[in-house]
Structure 1
Amino acid sequence: MRNAIKAGLGALAFWAVLSAPALADCARSDYLGHSFTTCTARAGDDLRLFLYMDEAKVYGNFTAIDDALARDGKKLAFAMNGGMYHPDRRPVGLYIEDGNELARIVTSAGPGNFGMLPNGVFCVDDTGFTLVESRAFAQSPPACRHATQSGPMLVIDGQFHPKFLADSDSRLIRNGVGVSSDGRQAAFVITNTPVNLFEFARFFRDHLDMPQALYIDGNVSRLHAPAIRRSDWGGLLGPVIGKVIDARGPAQ
């Protein structure tokens, strides 16, 4: 009964963010002594992945993407780093941008967080969002307009990744994405205080009521959210994921 009440309160908190038209796409919240910022995308939003501005040069930062979008009268409502990448900014795993597959899926175990199976693929399609375990995705790929692979999965069908340790002292600023049970909402979360992977997974499952969630990255995690007066700086990024809106409209 206590768990049911806690899950219900988490769902109410998340849906309150979704249903309040006066709020920006991004809002800050505290949970179990940690601080998080959550940015929400809904089915029908113009959510895109960005990597190369031309064949040889990556965007690398939020300003470069906004400058490119401005030529079409568009801008970023919010954006964050959208997947792990090699030193030359190539994606580590599957990467699909505007229907074009630029990097192939990786299904083998390996070092680091990416190779801590199960990992997964976040997919944007015509009806909303899906988050699929990578091997299942490889066997039956959905039609993704945009997709990025990362790892590990934080929450899999409502269960935590089996290798997470509640008392792990590996705490970083991290970011990730969760998908609602109906696939109509995606929550992009960045931590404002260092957390371990178990604590991050709890935020998605127990606070946001997300049955599927995927770790994107740590240390390099950055958020661009002009409506809340935040735009993080740092070294060049690889893939970036962001919600695009009309430059003349409000960022909400």
Structure 2
Amino acid sequence: MGLQYKLARVLMMVMLLVATHAARADSDSVMLTYTPDLATETIRMYWLKDDGTPYKTINNLLDMQGKTRQIHMVINGGIYSKSYQPEGLYIEQGKVLSKLNRQKGKGNFFIRPGGVFSVRNGVVRIDTLEKFRLTPVADFAVQSGPLLINKGVVNNKFSNTSESRKIRHGVGITDKGKVVFLLSKQAMSFYDFTYYARDRLKIRDLLYLDGSISNMYTPESPVYYQHYPYVTMITVEAK
């Protein structure tokens, strides 16, 4: 491993530590985060419009759904296939629109354990593929992978020496049961992303959703332009 990489990694960790101190007052110094208040907010998911065509962009979703709903946050959902379909399970308003995928393959989606983020009667869960149950059917659910933290245990498939750095986003549940949507503001390894979530945000279950193309919308942080279309999107809305 070259000296240049080692120096870059040291600089990265210093930046993380400095930003973490700032994060006590400004939680988006390293990560953009959104923690819904489930007493006053609800989590929904979107893929297809009433005419069967996809929304594709955050702004299209806001233009159509924002007329009748007060949307506080939007983020792209799980990984999708080359045919612009959800790669695995996707449930919207109690309807299974894409089936659970237990196949083996290449890419982040197939790194095990995989997981499912679901909402049922206001209760939010992150389950492994083995633990998730289709019945009773969830109101909303999306499958993705890898599951980076499961009940406080970090996935050991990722190394602190990894040179793969990308923008990353995911959804987590803290040790106090709060949901956190998080999007890195800089390219990070899976290892750094995971340990930041665990150590700084106190997340005990963390599901990776997607990477380089990801965006998070809030009214204070609009998304002006989107390079690639999305398939599924997750919103936080006023009840």
User: TM-score category by the smaller chain?
Assistant: 0.7 to 0.9
Give the one of 58, 65, 73 matched to 2:61: 65
Distance 2:67 2:72 in 1: 16
In the superposition, the TM-score normalised over structure 1's length comes to: 0.79
Q: Report the residue type matching 1:235 in the other structure.
A: Y
SS of the equivalent of 2:110 reads coil
Distance 1:216 1:229 in 2: 20
Residue 82 in structure 1 maps to residue 77 in structure 2: yes
Query: How does 1:44-193 map onto structure 2 within 5 Å?
Result: 44=39, 45-72=41-68, 74-138=69-133, 141=135, 143-183=137-177, 185-193=178-186
| 8 Å CA contact retained: 2:215, 2:223 | no
Distance 1:77 1:236 in 2: 21
Structure 1 225/231 Cα, relative in aligned 2: closer, same or farther at 3 Å? farther
Residue identity (%): 28
Q: CA deviation at 1:135?
A: 1.6
SS of the equivalent of 1:114 reads helix
After the TM superposition, which segments of 4 or more aligned residues of structure 1 sit over 4 Å from their partners?
140-143, 229-232
Gap regions ≥5 residues in structure 2: 1-21
Corresponding pairs, count: 217
Structure 1 181/128 Cα, relative in aligned 2: closer, same or farther at 3 Å? farther
Name the residue aligned to 1:8. Answer: none
Q: CA deviation at 1:229?
A: 4.6
**228-237 vs 196-205, which deviates more?**
228-237
Distance 1:97 1:109 in 2: 25
Give the one of 211, 235, 239 matched to 1:242: 235
SS of the equivalent of 2:63 reads helix
Q: Report the residue type matching 1:165 in the other structure.
A: S
Q: CA deviation at 1:177?
A: 0.5
Q: Report the residue type matching 1:58 in the other structure.
A: P
| 8 Å CA contact retained: 1:222, 1:232 | no
SS of the equivalent of 1:80 reads strand
Structure 1 70/216 Cα, relative in aligned 2: closer, same or farther at 3 Å? closer
| 8 Å CA contact retained: 1:113, 1:151 | yes
User: What is the Cα-based RMSD across aligned positions, in Å?
Assistant: 2.3
Q: Report the residue type matching 1:113 in the other structure.
A: N
